[in-house]
Amino acid sequence: MNKGLLIVVSAPSGCGKGTILEEVLKDKNYYYSVSLTTRKPREGEIDGVNYCFVSNDDFEKLISENRMLEYAEYCNNYYGTRNDIIEEMRENGRDVILEIEVQGALNVMKKCPDAISIFVLPPSVKELERRLRKRGTESDDVINQRLAKAIEEMNSADKYNYIVVNNALEDAIADFKAVIKAEKLKADYAKEILDEVIKNA
């Protein structure tokens, strides 16, 4: 059995990355890594499903115990991925998706050179602002802070393996799936089946 892929996805908040992933995750072979965060839950968010919501002290304790694969500070809150479950899932053949911001993603790329990285880009900054305001979950201050962060993050998009533009949602979903499909068709990934066919020739 092939080891599962490690797929790192980043996008400025408001890019529609959540909606793309919701569709992709209908395939139950994916394992969505639930992150830890010190940010307060938004309305409708469920602890253990969207995030594990923890205190600053608890987060810093996990860092000091070396139990985070990666973490970052984003808009004054900690966000991070615990390292215990990722490898286990991959060994069991599950494709693991990390939905994380740029700093954490760059760290994962360094630590796990086999990770596949995808940056979801909005069609324009203007459209991103419109989507953020429409969401209506954040104050003007927070929206402006997130927009500034978005522009900063887009400057790192070229460090990713793939860029998916979320203009029309259907197309973005298809592009995302095409990336994963292409990764699984790589000779390296298909080596096991190749060996099997040759052995039985």
Is 79 one of the binding residues for ligand 5GP (CB under 6 A)? Answer: yes
Kindly tell me the number of DSSP H helices and DSSP E strands found in the chain: 8, 9
Query: Is the CB of 70 or the CB of 95 nearer to ligand 5GP?
Result: 70
Contact region with ligand 5GP (CB under 6 A), list: 75-83, 87-95, 158-166, 183-191? 75-83
Contact region with ligand 5GP (CB under 6 A), list: 78-86, 111-119, 127-135, 177-185? 78-86
Number of residues that bind ligand 5GP (CB under 6 A): 14
* Alpha-carbon torsion, ordered 104, 177, 122, 148, to 10 deg: -10
Is 143 one of the binding residues for ligand 5GP (CB under 6 A)? Answer: no
**Strand order in 30-32's β-sheet?**
30-32, 95-99, 6-10, 116-121, 162-165
Please give the residues from 20 up to 49 whose contact with ligand 5GP meets the rule CB under 6 A: 35, 39
> Using the 8-state DSSP alphabet, how is residue 1 labeled?
-
> Using the 8-state DSSP alphabet, how is residue 157 labeled?
G
Is 104 one of the binding residues for ligand 5GP (CB under 6 A)? Answer: yes
Residue 181 class from Cβ within 10 Å (0-12 exposed, 13-18 middle, 19+ buried)? exposed
Query: Is the CB of 40 or the CB of 186 nearer to ligand 5GP?
Result: 40
Min CB(3)–ligand 5GP separation in Å = 21
Is 117 one of the binding residues for ligand 5GP (CB under 6 A)? Answer: no
CA 145 – CA 32 distance, rounded (Å)? 27
The closest of 74, 79, 42 to 59, measured between CA atoms, is 79
Query: Is the CB of 5 or the CB of 69 nearer to ligand 5GP?
Result: 69
Instruction: Please report, as ranges, the residues that interact with ligand 5GP according to CB under 6 A.
Output: 13, 35, 39, 70-72, 74, 79-81, 99-101, 104
